[in-house]
Amino acid sequence: MNPVHQKILIVDLMHDSIVPMLLEAGFEADYRPSITPEEVHDIIHKYDGIMVRSKLSMDKSLIDKATKLKFVARAGAGIDKVDYPYLTAKGIKLINAPEGNRDAVGEHATGMLLSLFHNLNRANMEVKSGIWDREGNRGLELKGKTVGIYGYGFMGTSFARKLRGFDCRILAYDKYKEGSELDWVARVDLTTLFEETEILSIHVPLTSETRGLFDGEYLSKFKNLKVIINTSRGEVLRLDAVNQLFDSGKLIGAVLDVLENEKINQLSDAEQKEFDQLVQNDKILMSPHVAGWTFESYERINEVLVSKLKKEGLAQIK
């Protein structure tokens, strides 16, 4: 009996290499990046697999319509838009690709932190405006500072790797992972992280446990906190808490690649008030959720996903 190729629906824009790679691996690829979520619901029953980025949620209603589905390939690290418990209860595999963009995230976090410490964003704009202010742009050094990494998976580990040459002290805490492959990183308990962290870098997934975790009460447990970095998910960090910490004089800087509500032109009145305060603070650097979004990671994610699909033996039905 000849094997039947698995049919996979790709619903988001991917690097151009995705279709040739899938074909070479033995899949039948249906690349439809302009498809709407409603259209996906109408045709999902025809496919053995689906590749998604952020266009739609793999929730119960969609999974129930996916009667042939054997796997979901998430083009990225986060799986907060996937109902993982229901998916696994249905016997459907979930494959994601944190290996594909971990280096991009580590570099981005490091770059924004250095830009913050050395006032590069402000200094650049001032010089271009004809202002030559050396003293006003005197920087801080990362050397000797204590960086606390909260969440020590692919992204947290990558950030620790990028920090190695800066002679800072690196602590790492993870509720669900033990040990460290990096001998320059000290694994610590939560109490130690609270007591000793000066620069907090958040690397946790968005779950019911982490949503809103870093609020004012929780952040007050960090006794020496001076800087917050968030390149994970915006919903884990309360922006009102960040503003309150600045108001109290506790924080000297923040680096935010993600926001609680990233539709910044559709904010509620309360959200707009907090956002405006962030914008007016030149000690806060923001970027539009691009920490993991590089030209290299765009292609590497394809490589990781296809490699994992092949390893799982999902290309063909015997």
pLDDT digits (tens, 9 = 90+) for 216-242: 999 999 999 999 999 999 999 999 999
Pairing of strands 284-286, 253-256: parallel
pLDDT band, very low/low/confident/very high, at 179 (cuts 50, 70, 90): confident
Q: How far is CA 124 from the centre of its chain?
A: 27
User: What's the predicted TM-score (pTM) here?
Assistant: 0.94
293, 101 in Cβ contact below 8 A?
Answer: yes
Name the one residue in this structure whose structure tokens are 């790709």: 10
Query: 140 burial class (0-12, 13-18, 19+ CB within 10 angstroms)?
Result: middle
What is d(CA 298, CA 26) in angstroms, rounded to the nearest whole number?
22
2 has a pLDDT exceeding 80: no
Q: What are the catalytic residues?
A: 233, 262, 289
pLDDT digits (tens, 9 = 90+) for 252-268: 999 999 999 999 999 99
pLDDT digits (tens, 9 = 90+) for 100-152: 999 999 999 999 999 999 999 999 999 999 999 999 999 999 999 999 999 99
C-alpha distance from residue 17 to each of 13, 23, 97, 98, 309 (Å) = 11, 10, 16, 18, 15
- Length of the chain, please? 318
* Residue 317, pLDDT score: 56
* Residue 202, pLDDT score: 98
Pairing of strands 253-256, 227-230: parallel
What is d(CA 187, CA 205) in angstroms, rounded to the nearest whole number?
19
Residues with Cβ < 8 Å from 154, sequence gap 6 or more? 77, 98, 99, 102
